[in-house]
Structure 1
């Protein structure tokens, strides 16, 4: 691995022998119109583009042309076959943002095995929680082998031992001798890989995606985003999440783009390094993030920083947003903060997708930006216009775009009937990129995928003039006295109080000792003053009552108490479980 001394710093001083792969070359672009993913890499390797890995300061440490990736992947495939790995067996990979992971992922594909990206440790939960999660997912996917970066040896080896799985760090695996041998030829309807959703912990579901489904989705979102000459990707998203793996790595190969990567943990420590990387991009940037990524960047800008001097965001063509509820207020704050650096609000590209559909279900046409509709909250909750016992309140719901190519979207009621325009119900989708099913879980598959190929996404939304609007997760809805309340509405209301920000609040339903359902609101509190805590508790309770008309249980908890999924999203379900089990510390009322 090359060292930082070989690299030009972020202000451009010094000479560097390292050059990133070019944004454009002479290879005619094909929009993922291949039968299998190995065929896509074979084609991309004929050009000069590739992947580029950067350190925590955004300095280039490893350009990785597709030709070199293909060579390493073929070598990995021969090593796997030499170890007796057969087509259809799983190869679990801890998904570090590194060239080794990408080479091993494609090596498994060339060998006919199914790569299974698994998460890295997060700051929440510690060593034991990570080992338990990894062991649970290993038991679920039943892999032939677990490969991981050497620095995670104690974690990964312990998890593998608990699951009875052979394991090896990938630097040791790379030393194995293997003679070149004939490789199996994948077919379009073969399974390409298994994808665990970011919330897969206690009861993980491995989403089985075929080559046909994958390439259909890569082509669909490439056409939706109008990928063309001059476009270049920039990403910090983890390779174990569908947006990072499919949208920001496999799509890069399938559509022959160059891309620049930061590790997710480096983005978490220095978020503005992402924007530094965008600024240095000489092409037109395509980069995605959940809402919280834009939020944290805007918050890191101090009043003394001259954003126009430090950043150049004028070439950011596609600022994608997805993977969580899109917050128009956060998007506006980002525009307000970085407009002076050339960022255009029209660059925002909202979208909607999920691992069970490979990735993209709907994408906003480029250039339309954030479009919202103001919807009365009783309609959002599935009620009628007459169900109002308090003043009307509205929520801004973001337009998540039109269904991508070869994808249908329908909104259905509780009885399965198809709803009309602007009626809120469960979002269903059907298309060539919908999963085969959950690995070895026919019951869970049947619960969400019907005989006609319609997938129940579990999300609630509505259609308006051909555009899809998402209002929340069905399982998150809080039902009190027969009325539906969205936890996001409660959380967003509390965030408007001084001193709180997105991610500080988790709302969910609990049962009181008297047997009644009531919302509980957990709020991360940074003050140690008892009187101030009492004042905050009262202010939160009154705020929720004013917004929803209901009383709630308010619990103040220490900072960093609320759990997140591996992709960084708040996990309400896990917060509820930890709260009910007493594993989240709460500040005593008198404390």
Structure 2
């Protein structure tokens, strides 16, 4: 990648390059957009945003489903020094409530969306008593439907590395969302660190179905790929959900070298595939399949690789990684081309601060964790106890990080910032894990641990065990710790959504 210090410099350098982005809408429905066309379209949209009154430093909520519309608007904001704020557009009232909560927190943001979505927001706001927030937002809304002329270019505003590039909000349908503030410098440090380890380049072809409102979709499979002039293919998330087999069919067709999916995606694909063989696929070009964004199942990785072996998928292509929005995505990557590295621990010896006990895979208390590699360049990781003191290898503790890619904090949220950072400047990720052999292993979320009879249990570990019961549907199991009123201890409760009779 080039030596750009801001996203503005990046797109200006790329506009003269003969590269493109491909938007996939179906098996034979594609649209290719050159980097030059992307730049010109973004300037045209910027003109309309500036006519509406958007200026440097203003916030622009992106509430869109279409990948091409999202990318165009994102870069329009970047070129104008406007701060894009991606918000997932779903069909439920939870998504609309999140949007209104974010709008209230941002003060006077602008909104870029479709007329149909705006009407639904208005109807929901009336029901929820949020008419005032909606009215202010409506006055500062630009509708994609009205974008009929982009022949006039907006005025480019130069950015500095320390300027805010965009804000990534957490889920906030039931509470106040937290906005992770990422600077141009944060994002480009992440791009460079990721590239130095994974070796992205113009020889690569990527394919992603992850939503662009998610950091893996936006940063990992758009910005990182754009920075390296990778030929990126973007597939609508909804299309993958409806037709998961199309994902690898398209990967085979375009000779993709880089793919991605969280655990859910592999389960969904295998469930729909069923007992069939993956016919007509040639995945021999795939060198990396990023696996992250949720707890990684070793067993699922192995099953997926085994089932796709007839399609010539390299068994060492699975690439388990650790990251989060606060790190501009990437924290640690394993070595490229290495097999999955795992350890097997006694699940009853995984308390924070305590040394772990390695056991054979056959042990009845065994739990397998997969290595998520070493910290990428420009990022550091430590494991700490409850008092923020660094722990040695082979002890479970809190995962802390710091580096050029790490956020400076949450948007106008001093309470969250005070809780997030240690006295010596490390960011608390909220995850638990350990370092073994110099590599990071994540065991779970600290706040989700269930305490029963003096033992610590990780919900995703328990859910994986229950999921092995024949007849249970994918993703229909939830484990939780419940404390009855007046009770002093938690009890373990497992919820199973099941259609049919119970024996």
Q: TM-score, normalised by structure 2?
A: 0.92
Q: For 1:245-260, what aligned pairs fall within 5 Å after superposition?
A: 245-260=218-233
**Residues 383 and 107 (structure 1 numbering): CA distance in 2 closer, same or farther, change over 3 Å?**
closer
Q: Which moved more, 1:330-339 or 1:181-190?
A: 181-190
Q: Per-residue displacement from partner, 1:100-145 (whole Å, max 9, x unpaired)?
A: 11111111111111000000215xxx3x333222212222233431
Q: Distance in 1 between matches of 2:151 and 2:124?
A: 27
Aligned positions, number = 489
Q: Does 1:138 align with 2:107?
A: no
Q: Does 1:362 align with 2:332?
A: yes
Contact 1:97 1:262 in 2 (8 A): no
Task: Tell me how large the CA RMSD over aligned residues is.
Answer: 2.2
Q: Per-residue displacement from partner, 1:335-369 (whole Å, max 9, x unpaired)?
A: 12111011122001110000011100001111113
In the TM superposition, residue 386 of structure 1 has moved relative to its aligned partner by: 11
**Residues 311 and 294 (structure 1 numbering): CA distance in 2 closer, same or farther, change over 3 Å?**
same
In structure 2, the residue matched to 1:155 is 120
Gaps of 5+ in 1: 1-30, 536-591
Q: Per-residue displacement from partner, 1:1-34 (whole Å, max 9, x unpaired)?
A: xxxxxxxxxxxxxxxxxxxxxxxxxxxxxx2531
Contact 1:134 1:159 in 2 (8 A): no
**Residues 168 and 89 (structure 1 numbering): CA distance in 2 closer, same or farther, change over 3 Å?**
closer
* Secondary structure, aligned partner of 2:429: strand
Q: Distance in 1 between matches of 2:47 and 2:429?
A: 38
Q: For 1:88-487, what aligned pairs fall within 5 Å after superposition?
A: 88-121=57-90, 126=92, 128-158=93-123, 163=133, 164-166=136-138, 168=141, 170-175=143-148, 180=153, 182-198=155-171, 201-282=174-255, 284-303=256-275, 305-307=276-278, 309-382=279-352, 393-450=365-422, 452-487=424-459
In the TM superposition, residue 461 of structure 1 has moved relative to its aligned partner by: 0.2
Contact 1:150 1:169 in 2 (8 A): no
Q: Per-residue displacement from partner, 1:42-68 (whole Å, max 9, x unpaired)?
A: 11221121211111x332331111111
Q: Which moved more, 1:366-375 or 1:238-247?
A: 366-375
Contact 1:285 1:317 in 2 (8 A): yes
Gaps of 5+ in 2: 126-130, 358-362
Contact 2:372 2:441 in 1 (8 A): yes
Q: Does 1:85 align with 2:54?
A: yes
In the TM superposition, residue 510 of structure 1 has moved relative to its aligned partner by: 1.5
Q: Which moved more, 1:180-189 or 1:45-54?
A: 180-189
**Residues 169 and 311 (structure 1 numbering): CA distance in 2 closer, same or farther, change over 3 Å?**
farther
In the TM superposition, residue 453 of structure 1 has moved relative to its aligned partner by: 3.1
Q: Per-residue displacement from partner, 1:154-202 (whole Å, max 9, x unpaired)?
A: 3244467562313546434424789545432111100000001356752
Contact 1:214 1:433 in 2 (8 A): yes
* Secondary structure, aligned partner of 2:252: helix
* Secondary structure, aligned partner of 1:353: strand
In the TM superposition, residue 458 of structure 1 has moved relative to its aligned partner by: 0.2
Q: 1:504 aligns with which of 470, 476, 479?
A: 476
Q: Per-residue displacement from partner, 1:461-507 (whole Å, max 9, x unpaired)?
A: 00112210000000100112433211122212211211124411111
* Secondary structure, aligned partner of 1:136: helix
* Secondary structure, aligned partner of 1:346: coil
* Secondary structure, aligned partner of 1:382: coil
In structure 2, the residue matched to 1:540 is none
Q: Distance in 1 between matches of 2:146 and 2:188?
A: 29
Q: For 1:59-74, what aligned pairs fall within 5 Å after superposition?
A: 59-74=28-43
**Residues 177 and 257 (structure 1 numbering): CA distance in 2 closer, same or farther, change over 3 Å?**
closer
Q: Per-residue displacement from partner, 1:192-247 (whole Å, max 9, x unpaired)?
A: 00001356752200100000001110111122111134211100000011111100
**Residues 408 and 64 (structure 1 numbering): CA distance in 2 closer, same or farther, change over 3 Å?**
same
**Residues 179 and 336 (structure 1 numbering): CA distance in 2 closer, same or farther, change over 3 Å?**
closer
**Residues 84 and 156 (structure 1 numbering): CA distance in 2 closer, same or farther, change over 3 Å?**
same
* Secondary structure, aligned partner of 1:496: coil
Contact 1:322 1:350 in 2 (8 A): yes
In the TM superposition, residue 289 of structure 1 has moved relative to its aligned partner by: 0.6
Q: Per-residue displacement from partner, 1:278-310 (whole Å, max 9, x unpaired)?
A: 00123x51011101111111221143x442x32
* Secondary structure, aligned partner of 1:331: helix
Q: Which moved more, 1:87-96 or 1:261-270?
A: 87-96
